[in-house]
């Protein structure tokens, strides 16, 4: 396991929420509707990095069979509670990461998705993920990667430039804080950004093309610095 991966696993140990912009059910339901629109049908779904299951229970209303996978036991425990409360009997949960999830599956899927997860994978790991996912994807299936960090917009968001009440002084202070954080992370041999890596859309598209997929690039409705990658077979 890489040092960065171990840091992120440590970071998520004990966490019980998926880090959505708002934990309000009304917001989660809107976010789920957006993602369901892009998932665009199918009967079976693998949600890799399902976290606490906030979106998964909404997906369950539209799919016959779902598998939610995550490497965090605390997240899966929370997801299990949410599933029982919603009486979603069509969901199975498995404890796994991007390398071990495939050996724990016993079927293929119409849709394979991940939301807010790909940022924790390097380009090489994304390549491996898509390669493995393609082996578990049904003929007319799609791989849909939600909420990738846009390398052009994410830095602007970090310094507050995309906020509604941004100002020069606030941005200046933010830049100073971000610089301090980067230096501190380097000195402590930790990832520069706990939110993970940014991914250029053109790189993700080249990986998709390599594995026989065409990719549609879509801006996220609810996170101005993120985008979705929708992959379907050529």
In the chain, domain spans: 5-149+198-231, 151-196
* Average pLDDT over every residue of 109-136: 96
Residue 8 pLDDT grade (very low, low, confident, very high; cuts 50, 70, 90): low
Between 4 and 36, residue with greater pLDDT: 36
Q: Are 95 and 73 in contact (CB under 8 A)?
A: yes
Q: Residue 134: helix, strand or coil by DSSP?
A: helix
Distance of CA 18 to the CA centre of its chain: 10
Inter-CA distances, 183 with 8, 121, 179, Å: 19, 22, 6
Whole-prediction pTM: 0.83
Share of the chain above pLDDT 70, in %: 77
Rounded CA separation 142/133 (Å): 10
How high does pLDDT run on average in the chain?
85
Which of 107-111, 128-132, 185-189, 221-225 bottoms out in mean pLDDT, i.e. has the lowest? Answer: 185-189
**For residue 218, what are the β-bridge partners?**
228
- Report angle CA 121, 125, 128 to the nearest 5 degrees: 145
Q: What kind of fold does domain 5-149+198-231 have according to CATH?
A: Rossmann fold (3.40.50)
Rounded CA separation 121/207 (Å): 13
Rounded CA separation 172/168 (Å): 6
């Amino acid at each position: 396991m890489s040092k960065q991966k171990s840091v992120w696993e440590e970071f998520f140990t004990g966490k019980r929420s998926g880090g959505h912009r708002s934990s309000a059910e009304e917001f989660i339901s809107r976010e789920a509707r957006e993602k369901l629109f892009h998932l665009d049908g199918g009967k079976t779904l693998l949600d890799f990095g399902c976290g606490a299951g906030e979106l998964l229970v909404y997906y369950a209303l539209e799919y016959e069979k779902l598998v939610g996978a995550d490497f965090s036991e605390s997240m899966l425990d929370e997801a299990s509670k949410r599933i029982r409360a919603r009486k979603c009997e069509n969901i199975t949960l498995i404890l796994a990461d991007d390398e071990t999830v495939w050996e724990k599956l016993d079927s293929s899927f119409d849709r394979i998705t991940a939301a807010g997860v790909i940022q924790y994978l390097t380009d090489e790991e994304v390549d491996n993920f898509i390669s493995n996912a393609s082996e578990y994807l049904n003929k007319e299936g799609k791989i849909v990667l939600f909420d990738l960090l846009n390398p052009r917009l994410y830095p602007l968001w970090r310094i507050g430039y995309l906020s509604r009440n941004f100002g020069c002084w606030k941005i200046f202070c933010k830049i100073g804080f971000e610089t301090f954080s980067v230096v501190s992370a380097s000195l402590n041999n930790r990832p520069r950004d706990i939110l993970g890596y940014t991914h250029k859309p053109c790189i993700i598209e080249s990986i998709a093309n390599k594995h026989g997929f065409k990719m549609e690039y879509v801006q996220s409705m609810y996170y101005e610095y993120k985008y979705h990658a929708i992959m379907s077979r050529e």
